[in-house]
Amino acid sequence: MRIEQARQVARRWVREHGAGLPGFGGAFLTGSVLWAEDPGAELAPTTDVDVVLIQDPPEGIGKFRYEGVLIEVSAIAELGSTHDVLSDYHLAGAFHLPCVLADPAGRLGELQRVVARDFAERPWILARCTDAMDRVRGWIIGMDESAPLTEQVTSWLFGTGVTTHVLLVAGLRNPTVRRRYAAVRELLAAHGRLDFHESLLDLLGCAELAPVRVERHLAALEKVFDATSDLRAPSYRFDSDITPVARPLAIDGSRELIGRGLHREAVFWLVATYARCLAKRAAAGASGYEDGFLELLADLGVVSFADRRRRGDRVLAALPGVWQTAMALC
């Protein structure tokens, strides 16, 4: 299927199903399918189509297949002002492109036109880079020693990983989720700054990680993913991320990166997915498979809370350099 066809499938789902949901106020595309430069290109089997509903109260649906397309539907209650959207790097990244799928009140189309016009102006780029920097600090400072291990690791991981988004936002690139380290490598390579990419990988703890170790961790993840994917945990926010239908993204997408020689860039999503598997198991009343997770954390040097706090402090200390590099990209 072509990317443009997948976009149209998402539009049909919104029209035929999403628009009938309680509190529906519109819908828009986001993510890599929206950012794709060639809509006539083939949709990769490791890619989903991200749809965001304006819905009050927001009740995201998660991942599912519709007409052969893997769609992920999330929801937000409202968008806020044009200023709010232009300052939010995720929202602005969607609205500077023709993202609107449904607009019953007519507001989304007007918002999209203004954001598209002003998106590349430097004050707004700086505002969005600041937004990303604030998210790094929020994740890192918010680490809670009393929280479950998976939550602690997630706070450290995403705080560390959003450093890539600061740079991608500065370079007017897609602040992708799963492929963030591969995407920032492409950006930094284009600017002759692969040295800084190495520093980002070092903050994550995988700069010296060999391909064989990453492959070992992927094999362990594959086992826990398959053992967890059929469990039911509707109360868990990322329940649909750990299901058979989502396997191509979580497992095959990581294997694809490793096969391209980007084994270190695959580590971020390995950790995120492993944490989600264990969190879903806990929500479903199951246990097991913790040993592989601890081995992965050991390779990254973040087994204990003290390790994670120390590594988080390194990320905070690195932020001036991240900002300086970002400013050179915009």
Q: pLDDT tens for residues 147-167?
A: 999 999 999 999 999 999 999
Interaxial angle between packed helices 149-170 and 305-329, expressed in degrees from 0 to 180 and rounded to the nearest 10? 10
71: confidence class by pLDDT, cuts 50, 70, 90: very high
pLDDT average, residue stretch 19-38: 97
Q: What is the mean pLDDT of residues 107-118?
A: 97
Q: Quick one: average pLDDT of 267-288?
A: 98
Residue 87 has pLDDT above 90, yes or no: yes
Encode burial over 243-273: b for 16+ CB neighbours within 10 A, e otherwise: bebbbbbbbebbbbbbeeebbbbbbbbbbbb
How high is the pLDDT of residue 270? 98
Entry pTM: 0.97
DSSP 8-state code for residue 43:
P
pLDDT value at residue 242:
98
What tokens appear for 6 in the block?
A: 């997948």
Tell me the C-alpha distance between 238 and 284, whole Å. 12
What are 190's two structure tokens?
Answer: 């284009």
Predicted local confidence at residue 152, as pLDDT: 98
Residue 264 pLDDT more than 90? yes
180 and 163 Cβ atoms separated by less than 8 Å: no
- pLDDT at residue 297, as a whole number: 98
Question: Using CA atoms, how far apart are residues 256 and 261, in angstroms rounded to an integer?
Answer: 9
Examine the pLDDT at 122 and tell me if it is beyond 90. Answer: yes
At residue 99, the pLDDT reads 98
What pLDDT is stored for residue 72 in this prediction? Answer: 97
Q: How far apart are CA 152 and CA 154, in angstroms?
A: 5
Residue 50: predicted pLDDT:
98
- Report the pLDDT value the prediction gives residue 296, as an integer from 0 to 100: 98
pLDDT at 78 over 90: yes
Burial profile 76-95: b = 16 or more Cβ within 10 angstroms, e = fewer: beebeebeebbbbbbbbbbb
Binned at pLDDT 50, 70 and 90, residue 37 comes out as: very high
Query: Per-residue pLDDT for 60 more than 90?
Result: no
| Mean pLDDT within 302-309 | 98
Q: Do residues 39 and 65 lie in contact, with contact meaning Cβ atoms separated by under 8 Å?
A: no
